[in-house]
Copies of this chain bind each other. A is one copy, B any other.
Amino acid sequence: MRYPNGQQNQLDKSLVTDTKPIQFANRGLDFERAINLSNSYYLEHDIALIYKRPTPIHVVKVDYAHNCKIVDAYFEKQSTTDYNGVYKGKYIDFECKETKSTTSLSFHNIPSQQIKHLKKVIYHGGIAFFLIYFVSLDEIYLLDVKYVIEAYEAKIRKSIALEDIKANGHLIKQEFNPRINYLKLVDQIYFK
């Protein structure tokens, strides 16, 4: 689990003009940052409205005498996915995963709650996928959720192989701005 600064849900205008180069290799957090930058780009250019869900926090104690400061709380597991929003009227819901493996994405990183949630998204007619980042290969794939669900529920393997991801998913070419233009693929796959 990651420990956010609590500002994930804010529209951070500074992100849009952020010109620091993004180094992917072996720096996991930059993948999430690049996704957030892409979402800021989509927001500013009226392309889509996609937000990162904040990591849920269980608040145990609030000090009301001191400006309602939270003095005891802890992070909880995300029961849904990282991102959701609206694109061309359709509901979009996706999860970002990264792995240092060069051959597969382990199911160890996918809680059963997430699978359950994503099945419901599909049932209700939403668009649902994974963005999978292979750190060592510096490759990002968009994989529709149905392939993940099939592999997950078959229980034959404990991971989904890169070759299956390549066969059923789509490589996202990294661009200048937005860096991870995943909506270009969403257009091709879901709006053709």
Question: Hey, which bits of chain A sit against chain B, CB under 8 A?
Answer: 3-11, 43, 46, 48-49, 51, 53-54, 56-59, 62, 67-76, 78-80, 84-93, 117, 120-121, 123-126
Q: How many copies does the complex hold?
A: 2
6 nearest A-B residue pairs (beta carbon): A89-B125, A86-B91, A6-B58, A70-B73, A91-B91, A86-B126
Give A6's nearest chain B residue, CB to CB: B58
Kindly list 9 other residue pairs between chains A and B, CB separation below 8 angstroms, not including A9-B78, A49-B126, A54-B56.
A5-B59, A6-B59, A6-B73, A54-B57, A71-B71, A71-B72, A84-B84, A87-B124, A89-B125
Contacts of A11 in B (CB 8 A): 79
Given A56-B54, A58-B6, also A121-B68 (CB < 8 A): no
Q: Among B68, B70, B78, B124, which residue has its beta carbon within 8 angstroms of that of A86?
A: B124
Q: How far is the CA of A123 from the CA of B85 in the complex (A)?
A: 13
Given A46-B123, A49-B126, A75-B70, also A5-B91 (CB < 8 A): no
Contacts of A85 in B (CB 8 A): 91
Are the CB atoms of A88 and B5 closer together than 8 Å?
no
Contacts of A80 in B (CB 8 A): 9, 51
- Among the interface residues A5, A56, A70, A86, which one has the most CB atoms of the partner chain B within 10 A? A86
Min Cβ gap A50→B in Å is 10
